[in-house]
């Protein structure tokens, strides 16, 4: 009988685990998509029609007609020491289109508690422990009185 009490009483004094946490997860994922666009620039041309005359054995330019383009200016012709130079300049162009799209999903862990004891249940458990300890003390005192 004493062995049964010696084994059962410590087992009864052990507490139970009150809270179990079950994690609830919410995921977050960020996806970035880079997009860009190609702009097509149509071809452009400009023209200058010039007559070349020879005066006193030297060539001389006589402009007759200039046709500028949308982005190109009319060519500039220069004649210096029997060298014909043609300069054609274009207006500056800047074309760039790039953007980022961000798509995000979230994942977060939220703790959810199950098997949670109420205040009254905890009071009952603690009172049961106290009464069990009191019963042990009373039984131990009675056994000591018999032996002494």
Residue 131 lies in a domain: yes
Structure tokens, 84: 């014909």
pLDDT band at 1 (very low <50, low <70, confident <90, very high): low
CA-to-CA separations, 96 to 39, 40, 93, 100, 148, in angstroms, rounded: 8, 11, 10, 14, 103
Q: Percent of the chain at pLDDT above 90?
A: 9
pLDDT tens for 11-57 read 666 655 556 666 777 777 778 888 777 777 777 888 888 887 888 87
Residue 106 lies in a domain: no
pLDDT at 125 over 80: yes
Q: Percent of the chain at pLDDT above 70?
A: 85
Give me the helices (H) in the chain, please.
2-13, 119-147
**Could you list the residue range(s) of the whole structural domain that residue 53 is in?**
47-87
Residue 37 neighbours by CB under 8 Å, 6+ apart:
97, 98
Residue 124 lies in a domain: yes
CA distance 140 to 148: 12
pLDDT at 137: 92
Residue 3 lies in a domain: no
Beta bridge partners of 76: 87
**Structural domain count of the chain:** 2
Residue 67 lies in a domain: yes
Residue 136 lies in a domain: yes
pLDDT at 115 over 80: no
What three-state secondary structure class fits 6? helix
**Where does the chain show beta strands of DSSP type E?**
20-36, 47-55, 58-67, 76-80, 83-87, 98-114
Q: What is the largest CA-CA distance in the chain?
A: 154
Residue 93 lies in a domain: no
pLDDT at 88: 81
pLDDT at 136 over 80: yes
Mean pLDDT within 73-89:
80
Residue 129 lies in a domain: yes
């Amino acid at each position: 009988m004493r062995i049964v009490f010696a084994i059962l009483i410590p087992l009864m004094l052990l507490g139970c685990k009150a809270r179990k946490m079950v994690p609830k997860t919410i995921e977050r994922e960020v996806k970035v998509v880079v997009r860009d666009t190609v702009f097509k620039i149509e071809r452009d041309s400009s023209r200058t029609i010039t007559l070349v005359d020879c005066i006193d054995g030297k060539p001389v330019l006589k402009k007759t007609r200039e046709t500028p383009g949308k982005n190109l200016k009319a060519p500039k012709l220069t004649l210096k020491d029997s060298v014909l130079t043609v300069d054609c300049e274009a207006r500056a162009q800047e074309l760039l289109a790039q953007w980022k799209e961000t798509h995000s999903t979230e994942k977060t862990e939220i703790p959810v508690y199950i098997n949670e004891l109420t205040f009254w249940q905890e009071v009952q458990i603690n009172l049961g422990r106290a009464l069990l300890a009191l019963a042990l003390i009373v039984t131990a005192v009675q056994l000591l009185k018999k032996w002494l």
